[in-house]
């Protein structure tokens, strides 16, 4: 894993006078947005033991300093496509308490996956996740750093350049930096989607080529 502070030179060099703490905050928020939108930081946790009458399950082996951004796949008892994915908002309210065979899996919290309906029998749950750094993170994946550090730094620069009435404000540079950041997100998303079919278990970036 790479330290978020490793991105400082890519930011501070272009922002003389900006407080380091402010730069660090912009860097963290840029990395979180990059991961959240690209879904490139993928993780397959250990199989979850499902218990009757228990709907929500904590992912106990999440890497330190990460949170669940997206649920990419969920299977009950090893049956492919046995669960549909949902953001939860479109499900009937009764599904949060009604028992039966679960039809849907949702991201319940930054560390938990929920089953809807509430299971009425024991079983196993296998999920694939896309992660993002938490708000207290100090590190992020080496592959993201090695492949996209300049793009992520551009996202942090865009945030700081857009700050009004500061010595480092550069409104004319915001769009260019933002475009570089958006391009990096598209590149990472494409690589992750192309590599997801043969992704190894545990924490990894799913990439093809250019590694």
Q: 92, 114, 132 — which closes off a domain?
A: 132
Residue 211 within any structural domain of the chain: no
Q: Could you tell me if 116 and 181 lie in one domain?
A: no
Contact 143, 115 (CB under 8 A): no
Residue 175 within any structural domain of the chain: yes
Predicted confidence band of residue 199 (pLDDT cuts 50, 70, 90): very low
Residue with tokens 């046995």: 82
Residue 17 within any structural domain of the chain: yes
Q: Could you tell me if 189 and 148 lie in one domain?
A: yes
What mean pLDDT do residues 36-41 have? 97
Q: 132, 152, 181 — which closes off a domain?
A: 132
pLDDT of residue 63: 95
Domain carrying residue 94: 42-132
Strands (E) across 83-141 are located at 84-86, 99-100, 104-107, 112-116, 118-119, 123-133, 139-140
Lowest mean pLDDT among 26-30, 87-91, 92-96: 87-91
Q: 112, 132, 152 — which closes off a domain?
A: 132
Count of domains forming the chain: 2
Predicted confidence band of residue 88 (pLDDT cuts 50, 70, 90): confident
What mean pLDDT do residues 51-74 have? 97
Q: What are the helix (H) ranges across 39-108?
A: none
Residue 168 within any structural domain of the chain: yes
Residue 210 within any structural domain of the chain: no
pTM: 0.88
Q: Could you tell me if 61 and 118 lie in one domain?
A: yes
Can you give the length of the chain in residues? 211
> Percent of the chain, pLDDT > 70?
92
Q: Could you tell me if 49 and 122 lie in one domain?
A: yes
Q: Could you tell me if 28 and 50 lie in one domain?
A: no
Return d(Cα 101, Cα 186) in angstroms, integer.
Answer: 37
Residue 53 within any structural domain of the chain: yes
- Is it the case that residue 5 has pLDDT exceeding 50? yes
Q: Could you tell me if 33 and 48 lie in one domain?
A: no
Q: Could you tell me if 107 and 66 lie in one domain?
A: yes
Summarised one tens digit per residue, pLDDT across range 126-171 is 999 999 999 999 999 999 999 999 999 999 999 999 999 999 999 9
Predicted confidence band of residue 87 (pLDDT cuts 50, 70, 90): confident
Q: What mean pLDDT is reported for the chain?
A: 91
pLDDT of residue 196: 52
Q: Could you tell me if 113 and 141 lie in one domain?
A: no
Residue 86 within any structural domain of the chain: yes
Q: Could you tell me if 32 and 50 lie in one domain?
A: no
Q: Could you tell me if 52 and 101 lie in one domain?
A: yes
Q: Could you tell me if 46 and 87 lie in one domain?
A: yes
pLDDT of residue 123: 97
Residue 142 within any structural domain of the chain: yes
Q: Could you tell me if 31 and 107 lie in one domain?
A: no
């Amino acid at each position: 894993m790479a330290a978020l502070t490793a991105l400082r030179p890519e930011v501070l060099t272009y922002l003389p006078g900006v407080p380091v703490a402010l730069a660090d905050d912009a860097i963290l928020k840029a990395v979180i947005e990059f991961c959240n939108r690209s879904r490139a930081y993928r993780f397959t946790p250990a199989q979850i033991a499902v218990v009757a009458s228990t709907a929500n399950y904590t992912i106990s082996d999440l890497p330190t300093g990460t949170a669940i951004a997206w649920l990419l796949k969920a299977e009950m008892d090893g049956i492919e496509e046995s669960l549909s994915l949902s953001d939860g908002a479109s499900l009937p309210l009764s599904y949060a308490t009604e028992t039966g065979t679960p039809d849907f899996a949702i991201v319940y919290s930054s560390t938990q996956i929920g089953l809807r309906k509430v299971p009425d029998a024991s079983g196993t749950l296998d999920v694939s996740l896309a992660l993002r750094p938490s708000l207290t993170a100090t590190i992020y994946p080496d592959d993201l750093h090695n492949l996209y550090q300049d793009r992520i730094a551009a996202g942090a620069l865009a945030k700081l350049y857009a700050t009004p009435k500061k010595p480092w404000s550069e409104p004319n540079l915001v769009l260019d930096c933002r475009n570089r950041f958006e391009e990096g997100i598209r590149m990472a998303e494409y690589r992750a989607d192309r590599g997801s079919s043969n992704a190894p278990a545990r924490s990894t970036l799913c990439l093809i080529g250019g590694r």
